[in-house]
Amino acid sequence: MRDFYGVTLDTPLMLGTAQYPSPAIMAAAFRASGASVATVSLRREGGQGQAFGALIRDLGVRILPNTAGCYSAREAITTAHMARELFGTNWIKLEVIGHADTLQPDPFGLLDAATVLIAEGFEVFPYTTEDQVLAQRLLEAGCRVLMPWGAPIGSGLGLNNRYGLKTLRAAFPDVPMVVDAGLGMPSHAAEAMEMGFDAVLLNTAVAQAGDPVAMARGFALAAQAGALAHAADPMAPRDMAAPSTPVIGKAWL
């Protein structure tokens, strides 16, 4: 697997920590998923204090704090500072939301916040769209990872713009990329990995499933299957049928 700021993850699955029916179910879902990274929203989870922080650390995975719910660069920067102090990591999933209904990233605020945080030593994972111009600007600012959305957060719609995601992946082949947000089914994760993305990040699809533990396991298997398929150099689609059984040696009557 490709490394993320010098860290090679054991599995291509990143999992969120919000909205689970209970802390025990969350912990069980993480065990079933084999996730390498837990994302934590300071604005939503921080109010639970040290007990929640201890619970997250007990998961035994790498922590990726995020700035979910921030609608300005200034707000996101302040939240990132709090996250670094609380969790002792320079990793930050940077979200600057620009639209309340779609939760689409604000490209201008995102770039401004990323520029400031990178100068302050943060290792930024920017939640972005599939826009190649914005991707280039984020890379020029010092981001070494991109996290394009699959669909609006919590929608479960899967990969809304497959063409955009494919062209983004092809445009920056050496940049680690994570499809983040909107994945609703394990098949969505498999498809993202088959496109050549390096990991997937999701939360709602597991946390709000009827059986979060079983769904977490399903996503784990799907992400691994997609990664294996991409590495295996799959066949290209054909417009016409091609026989899989050779006709050489066939008896002609």
Non-local (6+) Cβ contacts of 81 within 8 A are none
Sign of CA dihedral 132, 135, 139, 144: negative
Q: Give φ, ψ of 105 to 5 degrees.
A: -65, 145
**Is 154 annotated in some ligand binding site?**
yes
Task: Dig out the tokens for 135 from the structure.
Answer: 């991707």
Neighbour-count burial of 47, counting CB atoms closer than 10 A to its CB (0-12 exposed, 13-18 middle, 19+ buried) = exposed
**Is 182 annotated in some ligand binding site?**
yes
Q: In terms of Cα–Cα distance, which of 181, 179, 193, 177 is closest to 229?
A: 193
| 80 and 46 Cβ atoms separated by less than 8 Å | no
**Is 204 annotated in some ligand binding site?**
yes
- Using CA atoms, how far apart are residues 208 and 200, in angstroms rounded to an integer? 18
Q: Which residues are catalytic?
A: 93
| Other beta carbons within 10 Å of 100 | 8
| 99 and 80 Cβ atoms separated by less than 8 Å | no
- Using CA atoms, how far apart are residues 212 and 120, in angstroms rounded to an integer? 37
Q: In terms of Cα–Cα distance, which of 44, 1, 26, 21 is closest to 153?
A: 44
Helix (H, G, I), strand (E, B) or coil at 110: helix
**Is 227 annotated in some ligand binding site?**
no
Tell me the pairing of strands 7-8 and 3-4.
antiparallel
Residue type at position 149:
W
Known binding residues for 1-deoxy-D-xylulose 5-phosphate are 154, 181-182, 203-204
Known binding residues are 154, 181-182, 203-204
